[in-house]
C-alpha cells in the first residue's frame, strides 16, 4: 500500500513541480481573472495527467506490477487516480463556469479586453483558432466523465453494465486530450512540463485506443475448455476446471486470472485454486455466488465449453523467508491457500520455500459444506499445514487475539490474508496495535477490480 501512495502523490508532486518551473511568476499574479487563468491551467494539468496515468494502468502493464504489489494494488491506484482526476476536474470546471455566472449575476465585472496581439507562430495560431470548439467538446466530455466515473463507484451497479459503460471513458478521454492540447498554455510545450505531458497524452491515447478496440490483455490470453464442474451447495461455490493445452505460461499459487465465458459479460477476475503442472495443463477456479454474474455461472457454464483465460496476475505468492507463515482465508478467500497447499503437496520432494518454514491456516466461514471442508482438511494434511476452521455460528468470529493464542511464534511470522476487506483491515489494525510490523509482513489481497 505504501508504494501505491508513493505513486499517487508522486505523480501529483512531479506535475506540480514541473508546472511551477513552467510558471516562474505564478505567485506574482495580480487580479482575480489572472488568478482564474492560473488555477485553470494548473488544475487542467493535474486532472488530465492523473487521467492519463489511470488510462495507462487500465492496460494491465506488467512492468509496474511487482513494484506496486500486484495487479489488485495497481487497480486500486487506477481507482484513486480516477477519483482524483474527477475531483480536480470539477474544481477546474467550477473555476471556468463560476466567474461567468458571477459576471451574469452582477457580482463580478469582466475586465476590459484590449486588442489581441497577432500570433506569429503558426501552430500556436492554429490552436488558438480551435479554442471555442475545444472548450465546448471538453465541457460535454467532462459531463460524460462525471457520469461514467460515478457509475463505476456505485457498488450495486451491475458488473456487466459497468464493463460496457466504463469502456466509454476511453472515448471521453480522447476528447479531453484534444481539449488539453488546444487549451494548455502554449509556452508549456517547450518546457519539461510540456515534454512530460506530451508523453502522458501520447501513451494515454494509445491506451484508450487499445481499450476501445477491446485488446486489453490480448497478448496474455489463451483459449481453454471446461473439463469439469463441481458445485458445493453448502457454500454456494462452483469449482471449474479448465484445460489450457496451448500458450499458458504457468502460474504460481496465489495468483489470479481473468476468465471470459461470455463476451457480453467481459472478463472477470478469479483466484486460481490449483497448482501448475506442465504435463497436465489445467487451471481450477472456485467462485462463490456473490453477485449478478457469479450467481448465474452454474446455469451458464457447461463441460466442453470454450473459455478465454488471461494472465497470470498478482503478487500474492507467499514469497518470504520467515520461519512461520499465518494464512487467513475468510469465506471464498480460502482459494489462494488451496492452490498453495496443492503446490506444496506436489513439491514436497523439491520444496521452493524454506525447509523449516511452518504454516498455520485459519479458515473463517459463515457457510458450511462438509464435502468442501473435508477436501480442505485433506489438502492441509498432504501439505503439512496446520488447519484451524472456525464456523461463525459455532465458533464465533476470528480475531487477532485468537490467532495469537493459537500461534505462539506469531511475532516471527508473516501474515497472508485473503477475504473481506473490512475483516482484513480489522486484523491489520489489531496486529499493528501489538507491535507487529504490518507494513513489511502483513500481506493482503485487494481483490476488487472496480
Q: Write down the domain spans for the chain.
A: 2-212, 219-313, 324-444
Beta sheet of 358-365, edge-to-edge order = 386-391, 358-365, 324-330, 413-418, 442-444
Spatial CB neighbours of 414, under 8 Å, sequence gap ≥ 6: 320, 322, 324, 325, 326, 441, 442, 443
Whole-angstrom Cα distance, residue 118 to residue 110?
22
Instruction: Tell me how far apart the alpha carbons of residues 280 and 287 are, in angstroms, rounded to a whole number.
Output: 22
CATH code of the domain made up of 219-313:
2.40.30.10
Which class for 62: exposed (0-12), middle (13-18), buried (19 or more C-beta within 10 A)? exposed
DSSP state of 272: B
Q: What is the pLDDT of residue 447?
A: 66
Q: What is the pLDDT of residues 49-90, one digit of tens each?
A: 999 999 999 999 988 988 988 898 899 999 999 999 999 999
> Distance (Å, rounded) from C-alpha 183 to C-alpha 173?
15
CATH number of 324-444: 3.40.50.80
pLDDT at 376: 95
pLDDT of residue 187: 94
Buried b (16+ CB within 10 A) or exposed e, 375-405: ebeebbeebebebbbbeeeeeeebebebbbe
Specify the pLDDT at position 5.
92
Tell me the CATH class for 2-212.
Answer: mainly alpha
pTM to 2 decimals? 0.89
pLDDT by residue (tens digit) across 281-338?
A: 999 999 887 777 777 888 889 999 999 999 999 999 999 999 999 999 998 899 999 9
Neighbour count for residue 371 (Cβ, 10 Å): 12
Kindly state the cell numbers that stand for 417.
490474508
User: In the chain, which stretches have pLDDT less than 70?
Assistant: 1, 114, 447-450
Within 10 angstroms of residue 323's Cβ, the number of other Cβ atoms is 13
**d(Cα 220, Cα 249) in Å, to the nearest integer?**
9
Can you give the pLDDT at residue 448? Answer: 65
Strands (DSSP E) contained in 155-236 are 221-232
Amino acid at each position: 500500500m505504501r508504494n501505491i501512495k508513493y505513486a499517487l502523490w508522486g505523480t501529483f508532486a512531479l506535475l506540480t513541480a514541473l508546472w511551477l518551473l513552467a510558471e516562474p511568476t505564478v505567485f506574482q499574479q495580480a487580479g482575480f481573472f489572472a488568478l482564474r487563468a492560473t488555477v485553470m491551467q494548473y488544475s487542467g494539468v493535474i486532472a488530465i495527467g492523473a487521467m492519463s496515468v489511470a488510462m495507462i494502468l487500465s492496460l494491465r502493464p506488467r512492468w509496474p506490477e511487482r513494484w506496486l504489489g500486484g495487479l489488485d494494488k495497481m487497480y486500486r491506484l487506477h481507482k484513486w487516480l480516477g477519483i482524483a482526476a474527477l475531483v480536480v476536474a470539477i474544481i477546474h470546471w467550477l473555476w471556468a463556469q463560476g466567474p461567468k455566472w458571477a459576471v451574469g449575476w452582477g457580482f463580478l465585472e469582466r475586465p476590459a479586453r484590449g486588442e489581441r496581439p497577432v500570433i506569429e507562430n503558426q501552430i500556436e495560431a492554429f490552436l488558438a483558432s480551435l479554442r471555442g470548439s475545444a472548450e465546448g467538446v471538453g465541457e460535454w466530455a467532462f459531463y460524460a466523465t462525471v457520469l461514467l466515473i460515478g457509475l463505476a463507484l456505485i457498488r450495486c451497479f451491475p458488473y456487466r453494465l459497468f464493463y460496457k459503460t466504463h469502456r466509454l471513458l476511453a472515448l471521453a478521454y480522447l476528447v479531453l486530450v484534444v481539449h488539453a492540447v488546444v487549451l494548455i498554455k502554449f509556452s508549456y510545450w517547450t518546457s519539461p512540463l510540456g515534454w512530460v505531458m506530451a508523453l502522458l497524452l501520447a501513451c494515454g491515447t494509445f491506451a484508450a485506443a487499445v481499450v476501445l478496440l477491446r485488446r486489453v490483455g490480448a497478448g496474455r490470453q489463451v483459449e481453454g475448455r471446461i473439463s469439469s464442474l463441481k458445485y458445493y451447495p453448502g457454500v454456494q461455490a462452483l469449482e471449474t476446471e479448465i484445460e489450457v493445452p496451448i500458450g499458458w505460461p504457468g502460474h504460481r499459487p496465489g495468483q489470479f486470472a481473468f476468465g471470459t465465458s461470455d463476451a457480453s459479460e467481459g472478463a472477470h477476475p478469479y483466484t486460481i485454486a490449483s497448482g501448475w503442472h506442465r504435463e497436465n495443463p489445467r487451471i481450477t477456479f472456485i467462485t462463490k455466488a456473490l453477485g449478478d454474474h457469479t450467481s448465474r455461472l452454474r446455469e451458464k457454464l457447461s463441460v466442453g465449453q470454450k473459455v478465454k483465460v488471461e494472465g497470470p496476475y498478482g503478487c500474492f505468492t507467499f514469497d518470504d523467508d520467515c520461519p512461520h507463515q499465518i494464512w487467513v482465508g475468510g469465506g471464498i478467500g480460502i482459494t489462494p491457500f488451496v492452490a498453495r497447499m496443492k503446490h506444496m503437496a506436489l513439491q514436497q520432494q523439491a520444496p521452493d520455500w524454506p525447509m523449516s518454514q511452518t504454516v498455520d491456516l485459519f479458515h473463517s466461514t459463515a457457510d458450511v459444506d462438509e464435502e468442501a471442508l473435508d477436501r480442505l482438511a485433506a489438502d492441509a494434511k498432504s501439505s503439512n499445514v496446520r488447519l484451524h476452521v472456525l464456523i461463525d455460528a459455532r465458533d464465533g468470529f476470528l480475531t487477532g487475539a485468537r490467532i495469537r493464542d493459537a500461534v505462539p511464534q506469531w511475532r516471527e511470522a508473516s501474515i497472508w490474508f485473503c477475504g473481506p476487506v473490512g475483516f482484513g483491515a480489522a486484523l491489520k489494525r489489531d496486529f499493528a496495535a501489538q507491535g507487529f510490523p504490518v507494513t513489511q509482513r502483513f500481506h493482503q489481497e485487494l481483490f476488487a477490480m472496480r
